[in-house]
C-alpha cells in the first residue's frame, strides 16, 4: 500500500486518539475538583446568567433572558434534560468533550503547517493549563475556544489546500458556533478576510469574481446563523440587536482604564460613578422603558464611552499597555492555588517577610510563571521565523489575527480568562518557535 494512502487510512484513528486524549485531560481536572472538595458552581462567576435561559428551555421559568447568546445555555439545557436539573458534575463531564474538541482542533491546526507537529500539539494542549483547566469551570470559555480552534484549523488548511472550499465551509460552521456562544468572535472574520483573499489570489490564482462570490457566500452563511439570535432579541426588545450584554461589559472597562496599568486592580470610585450615572439615566427613561434590556444595553455603552473619554489619554494608553502585558503574563497557577487555599507570594512580596511560611505555593507559582515566560519567548521566535519564511507567512499572520482579535476586545482586562481563546494560536506559535530554535541549534 502506498505510504500516502496508508497515512490517509490511519488519519481518522489519530483524530480519535487525540480527541480521547483531550477528554482524559479534561476529566483529570474534574476529578481534581472533586477530590479536593472544590465546588464546581462558583458564585464569583456568571454561570447563573447561562443557566437562567436553560431553565426557561426546561419550562422552569416563565420568561427567557436573551442577554446571553443561546448555544451554551442550550448545552446546559441538554445536560440537565439528560442527567437531571442542576447536575453540575454532569455538565463538567460534558465539557470534557469540548476539551477533546479543542485538543483535536489545535492538533489539526498544527498539522496544517507541519504534519510532524500533530501529536506534539495534542500533548501540549493537554498540559496547557489555560485550556484543560477550563473544563471544570462552568462557563462558555472552553466551548467558545473549541470553536475558535476549529475555525483556525479549517482556515489554515484552506490557505494551503488546492481545493479550499470544503475547509472554508468548515471554518464558517465553526465561526457560526463561536458566534452563538460569545459575541467576542465578531472581530475575527474581519481580520481573517484580507489574509484569505491574499492566499486565494496569490497562491491559488483565483479570479476576483470567484473570490468575491466566495466571500459573499461565507458572509451570508455567517449572517444566516446569527438570525435566530436577532429574532430572539427582537421578540423581547422590539429591536434588531445581536447581543444585549455589551452595555454591562462596557461598564467594567472605564474602572480598568482609570488606573495606570489596567486591571488587576480597578478604580472603585470610577466603578461607583459609572453605575450611578447608568442608574440615573435608566431612572430618567419613561416608566415603561426602565426594564427594557435594549435601553439598558445602550445606556451602559454610552456611559462607558463618556467615562473613557474623560480619562487623560496618557492614563488610558498606559492602562491598555499594562493590561495587555498582564493578560499575556498572568498564569493560571494563581487561580489553582487560591482554590486549594494554598498561600503564595508574588515576586514583589518576596522580600517583605513571610516567604518561608509560603514557600510551597510560591515555588509552584514561580515554576508555572517561568514556563509561561518560556512559552512567550518561543512564540516571539515563532512569529519572527514565520514572517521571514514565505511559505508560512500567511499562516503566521492568521495565527496573529486570532491573538489580535481577542487582544482588541480585552482592553483594560489583565486576567488569563480573556486569553483563553488565543491559546490555540499561541500554542501553534510555540511549536513554530521550538522548531526554529532546535533547527538553529542543530546547525551549530
Share of the chain above pLDDT 90, in %: 53
Does the predicted TM-score (pTM) go above 0.75? yes
242: which DSSP letter?
A: S
pLDDT at 184: 87
Q: Could you check whether the bond before residue 21 is cis, i.e. omega within 30 degrees of 0?
A: no
pLDDT at 379: 97
pLDDT digits (tens, 9 = 90+) for 340-399: 889 998 887 888 877 888 899 999 999 999 999 999 999 999 999 999 998 899 999 999
pLDDT digits (tens, 9 = 90+) for 264-284: 777 888 889 989 999 999 998
Distance (Å) of CA 20 to CA 24, 97, 151? 6, 8, 20
Put residue 268 in one of left, alpha, beta given phi > 0 → left and psi -120 to 50 → alpha: alpha
Burial of 369 (C-beta count, 10 Å sphere; 0-12/13-18/19+)? middle
Among 109-113, 199-203, 359-363, where is mean pLDDT lowest?
199-203
Phi, psi of 30 (to 5 degrees): -65, -45
Amino acid at each position: 500500500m502506498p505510504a500516502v494512502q496508508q497515512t490517509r487510512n490511519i488519519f481518522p484513528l489519530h483524530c480519535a486518539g487525540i480527541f480521547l486524549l483531550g477528554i482524559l485531560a479534561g476529566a483529570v481536572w474534574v476529578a481534581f475538583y472533586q477530590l479536593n472538595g472544590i465546588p464546581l458552581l462558583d458564585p464569583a462567576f456568571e454561570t447563573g446568567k447561562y443557566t437562567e435561559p436553560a431553565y426557561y428551555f426546561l419550562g422552569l421559568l416563565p420568561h427567557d433572558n436573551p442577554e446571553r447568546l443561546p448555544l451554551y445555555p442550550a448545552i446546559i439545557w441538554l445536560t440537565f434534560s439528560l442527567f437531571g436539573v442542576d447536575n453540575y458534575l454532569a455538565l463538567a463531564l460534558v465539557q470534557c468533550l469540548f476539551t477533546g474538541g479543542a485538543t483535536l482542533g489545535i492538533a489539526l491546526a498544527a498539522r496544517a503547517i507541519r504534519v510532524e507537529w500533530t501529536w506534539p500539539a495534542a500533548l501540549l494542549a493537554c498540559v496547557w493549563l489555560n485550556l484543560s483547566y477550563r473544563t471544570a469551570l462552568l462557563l462558555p470559555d472552553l466551548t467558545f475556544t473549541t470553536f475558535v480552534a476549529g475555525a483556525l484549523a479549517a482556515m489554515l488548511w484552506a490557505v494551503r489546500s488546492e481545493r479550499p472550499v470544503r475547509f472554508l465551509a468548515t471554518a464558517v460552521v465553526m465561526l457560526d458556533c463561536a458566534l452563538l456562544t460569545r459575541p467576542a468572535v465578531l472581530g475575527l472574520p474581519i481580520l481573517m478576510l484580507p489574509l484569505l483573499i491574499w492566499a486565494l489570489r496569490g497562491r491559488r490564482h483565483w479570479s476576483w469574481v470567484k473570490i468575491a462570490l466566495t466571500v459573499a457566500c461565507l458572509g451570508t452563511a455567517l449572517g444566516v446563523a446569527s438570525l435566530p439570535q436577532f429574532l430572539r432579541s427582537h421578540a423581547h426588545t422590539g429591536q434588531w440587536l445581536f447581543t444585549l450584554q455589551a452595555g454591562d461589559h462596557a461598564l467594567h472597562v472605564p474602572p480598568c482604564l482609570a488606573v495606570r496599568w489596567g486591571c488587576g486592580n480597578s478604580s472603585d470610585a470610577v466603578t461607583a460613578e459609572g453605575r450611578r450615572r447608568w442608574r440615573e439615566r435608566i431612572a430618567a427613561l419613561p416608566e415603561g422603558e426602565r426594564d427594557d434590556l435594549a435601553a439598558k444595553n445602550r445606556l451602559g455603552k454610552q456611559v462607558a464611552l463618556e467615562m473613557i473619554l474623560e480619562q487623560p489619554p496618557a492614563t488610558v494608553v498606559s492602562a491598555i499597555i499594562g493590561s495587555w502585558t498582564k493578560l499575556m503574563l498572568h498564569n493560571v497557577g494563581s487561580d489553582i492555588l487560591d482554590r486549594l487555599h494554598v498561600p503564595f507570594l508574588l515576586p514583589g512580596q518576596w522580600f517583605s517577610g513571610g516567604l518561608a511560611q509560603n514557600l510551597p505555593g510560591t515555588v509552584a507559582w514561580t515554576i508555572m510563571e517561568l514556563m509561561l515566560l518560556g512559552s512567550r519567548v518561543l512564540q516571539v521566535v515563532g512569529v519572527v521565523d514565520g514572517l521571514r519564511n514565505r511559505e508560512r507567512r500567511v499562516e503566521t499572520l492568521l495565527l496573529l489575527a486570532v491573538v489580535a482579535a481577542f487582544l482588541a476586545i480585552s482592553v483594560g482586562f489583565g486576567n488569563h480568562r480573556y486569553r483563553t481563546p488565543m491559546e490555540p494560536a499561541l500554542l501553534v506559535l510555540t511549536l513554530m518557535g521550538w522548531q526554529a530554535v532546535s533547527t538553529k541549534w542543530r546547525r551549530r
